[in-house]
Structure 1
Amino acid sequence: MTTTKKTMTYYRSYHDWLHGTEADDILTAGDGDDHLDGWGGNDTLNGGGGNDWLYGGAGNDILDGGDGRDRAVYYDKEVPVKVTLRGAEDATVYVDGVAEDTLRNIEEIRGGSGNDVLIGDAENNTLSGWSGDDILDGGDGGDYLLGWAGNDTIYGGGGDDGLHGHDGDDRLYGGAGNDRLDGFDGNDLLVGGDGDDHLDGWSGNDTLDGGSGADWAYLSNKNAPVTITLRGEEDVTVYVGGIAEDTLRNIENLWTGNGDDVLIGDAENNKLWGNDGNDILDGGSGNDTLDGGRGADLLRGGDGADLFHFLVDLPGHDVILDFDAAAGDRLSIGSIDGRIRKLTWSPDGPREGSVWMEKSDNDVVLYADVDGSLATNNFSVTLRGVTDFGPDGLIL
């Protein structure tokens, strides 16, 4: 039986579903977010405007996304897929080393179950390896790169990228830009590279290397107290519930979770965020920012002009051991997203909507009124060894 060519052309602004046949089809969509499926044969798929989904199926197909953010999918391939996107220029898709499809104007690719190599261009690409031990490289642009299953190697390249390893022991390299790296399951290696990066290993025994810039290690998913002492470029161990887990280096800033954490900074200008729990934060030398979050936290800024950050809508009764306004230390007292009215300083004791101090032995205790009740049982900050305090030490 002879199968003839099928041509389907839509110039509508709807979200069209165009399906080819076993023949050599030409499918052309208009504006709208369209779904084009070539099925068999050597097909030509034209997405037109909108954010389109293009699947060539069997045969040597041409996939042209047109305008918008368009995706080429290879979820059915069980052998390696390799492609380097080239914007509006033709890019050849190699399947198990054999040239198969041609892509142009494609910004997103989903691989299959083979060990795929997907390389982006100067656009903001989304590359999904799916299963297999994949290599993803975003190139320039702000890219979103997902390894999914397998032991994947992911390069962000230029731009502010998001790298996600998911299952397996993955290796993530942010490159240039301010990147977000998430290892998820497995024992992962996360390297931020240049820029101010955010690194989160999630589960497993991970290595987080911030590289250059002011980098964050996120440890909020740990289900036990976290203990860390930063040492710049040297390797430091993250203890979770007293057990060695992750390794950090070139990390300046820490964000932990619900445990009673111990976070100690180094000579850099560190930011230490304890969040929930009764935490101990020590900035070390440098001009540090410390935020204990909820709970009764013990804070020490160390040398340098340090900022102690508080949100009055997070209940807590913290103690600062070494506050020195003359050395440049400051207290910042505010609310989440500014949802509570701006507070003012009261030199004469409790007043609605104000921050005031009371002396206690050799200490000063600061209180804040957030609801007009003048209650002191929700929020307080004790300045140990401080006998007097004025508005010059306060940021409201």
Structure 2
Amino acid sequence: ATVEPRPLSVEITIDTIGGDGFLNNAELSEKLTTISGTVSEGTPEGTEITLTMDGRPIGTATVNSDGTWSTAVETSLIKDGGEVTAEISLSDEYDNEVGDKAFTTVVPTPLDVEITIDDVTGDNFLSFAETNQLPGEDAPTIKVTGTVSGNAAEGDYINVTVGDVTHTVKVQKDGEGKLVWEAEFTAENLMKNPEVSASIEIRDDYGNVVNDSALTTVNVEMGNLITGNEHDNVLEGGDETSDLIIADTQGFQQQPGQDYNIAFIVDTSGSVNSGDIKSIIASLTKVFNSLHQNAQFDSSGKVNILLVDFDTQVNFAVSVDLRDPNALKTLTDALAKMTSGGGTNYEDAFKTTANWFHEVGGEGSENLTYFITDGKPTYYQTGEKSLIDVDSRSGSSNVVTLDLSTLNYTAGQVVTMKIAGHERVVIDAQGNVYSWNASDRQNVGVLRADGKGGYELSTLGGAGSSTSSTTTSNAHSAFLLLMGVCNNVEAIGINNGISANDLKPYDSDGNVMSGIAADKLAEAILGGDNVQMAGAQDTVHGNAGNDILFGDMVLFGGSSGFDAMKAYVADKLGVDASKLGVSHISQYIAEHPEEFDQSQNDGGKDVLFGGLGDDILYGGGGSDLLVGGSGDDLLFGGKGDDILLGDGYESASKLAEAMNTTVGKLTFEGVSDFISQNSDVLGGLGSGNDKLYGGEGKDLLIGGGGHDLLNGGDGNDLLFGGTGNDVLIGGKGNDMLIGGAGQDAFTWLKGDDGHDVIKDFNAKEGDRIDLSELLGGNIDNNLADYIQVSQNSNGDAVININTDGQMQSQGSTMSITVEGSSMADINSLLASPDNTAIIL
């Protein structure tokens, strides 16, 4: 019989690629991907299957005994997606061949997301204006914004964290279709934790989970109060801090956060009459009230006060911490006990005060003493000893020694010792020392301060009505003990009882205040316009930061310094001065700079360097040098013949280097000459957009790089704009204006006068002469009533002006010489209907 061959057939399927036919992020990151399937029944085990993708070989597989097949291919071969083909073929002994193919599509499903944080407040910088909070106002808040991209979608959630505060916000679309987010935090939180993090996590139906995060740091504007005194100061602002620096101050200037130990030594000897005693009490009451008020501020440090009343010897010494609730009453009660009488014992007063400084100590505290007297010393202490025999019985064996150097005695302490078998009081509560003979005692003296933190037994010496060399020597020795623990002693002479020369040995820097009326004592201590000193010659460096520098004293309402400034700002804002800090004052000045442009007639020759940042510099009185440095600066020269540089050197050392000298050899006159002679070079330095106001006097203003505003003010000024499109305003007086490179505007304001000169006007380069505010827009068609153009002997045009429109009858009241332009040039510009070079 004939056996027919069984028909040959095969079928193949692809079940899965990567488990589901989709390749998510995790699977795409794997090196190998599994592809599996089945074949029809009867397909021989071991039959090879060929796998291709879009015609490219990607691997092979073999049939298993159960009709399945599986293999792992390199993921990189299929990651971009496409059609996978599995092909199988069979043959038999009869040369029959059959085959089959299976097809499936690989779909890569990557998921991606990216998050960004925008610059917080536009520049990642929180200024005083953005963080300050005034009483009664809501706490300021800061918006933090950003974007997301990739596969993020509207409605996804963002976690934004500052410190321990996290806000969860939704992704939204903005007007341009971008995906954005926004969260809001308190300014206080950002100041304490100046780092912002944002994160997003998204997932899809294919098992993808992706996330991204971003981090940004915010710079917070911080500032310090730095003050000088009535002497010549060199003051340095901090790096990266926006400091308020007042170079000249008068009286005590309390710094926020600083701890103080302040002693008041008051002479109430017989030469101080009862009327002056009352005035001294009233003045010190005012001083203590002021110090007490400031001590209650949250920003204030600890303030310890010592009040010493002395005449023949120290009458009392009262010490308080001004934060104690009864401190002010304790001081005023003590003041009420002051009476006139006795001689003058500097030594005892100085030693008592020195002991107090030893006692209060305080690392980081600032120590200060006010020594108030009306006369030279007439008493002193003598016979000082610390070893005392308190057993007065006869016999060499009857010796009991009180050793004050090892006793660790404190005022008011009662000390007993065993004498002849009995416990005896050798120092009573009043400091009296006793020697005992059996049951009888003898007062051998009173303990006095030794100025070294301990006590000694001494007796009174001196005539009481005159001053001997011994009196002076003892007084000065005691003063040196005081200086050892308090290096800032301010001597104040009441009325005319003692000369400045006699006071100088008892003042730490030799700069005394003498001839002060008793009723002006408070002003002398706290500062005020009733007791005013000439300005010093200061050098101030703002360094990096948006600094505010005052070269001279600042006066408001009869007071000076920061407290006066704070009271002024508080009044303007209608808030409690105690709630204002340095940042509030700096912000107010920056927003109202013209209110602080004040000058005293006797200001010093100050040199102010703004340094890096947007600075405000006030020269005040005197002939000053103001250098803005990098940034957009605002300079006020004030009274005097000032030099103002909008850009230029960052410090005295840089200026000295340019002058080929050292800082120690810089003189104001030398610097003035150098800058005057190199104005063309200085005009190209920097790029800040600065504002320079010369004020009164013969000033030199140099804008430097950038688009600057220069206003000479009163006086005969020289203005040099430098590079950039500058505005030059000569002001009153006969001024010389040099625009420099750029399209400059030579401008006159209402009330300006004089005979001014423009050195480099060029209409073709975009320069213009602006007379619109000077003439008030009243010209209409009567140009000849206001302006008449002539020509000088050099052929330069002269614009003659009568601001009242009375040119025909009264002639010109001021003039502008335009060097390099002829009369015809100017008349042509005035006549042109398209004239933009001369603005009327």
- TM-score (structure 1 length as normaliser): 0.50
User: Greater Rg, structure 1 or structure 2?
Assistant: 2
> Relative contact order: is structure 1 or structure 2 higher (C-alpha 8 Å, sep ≥ 6)?
2
Instruction: Say which structure is richer in helix.
Output: 2
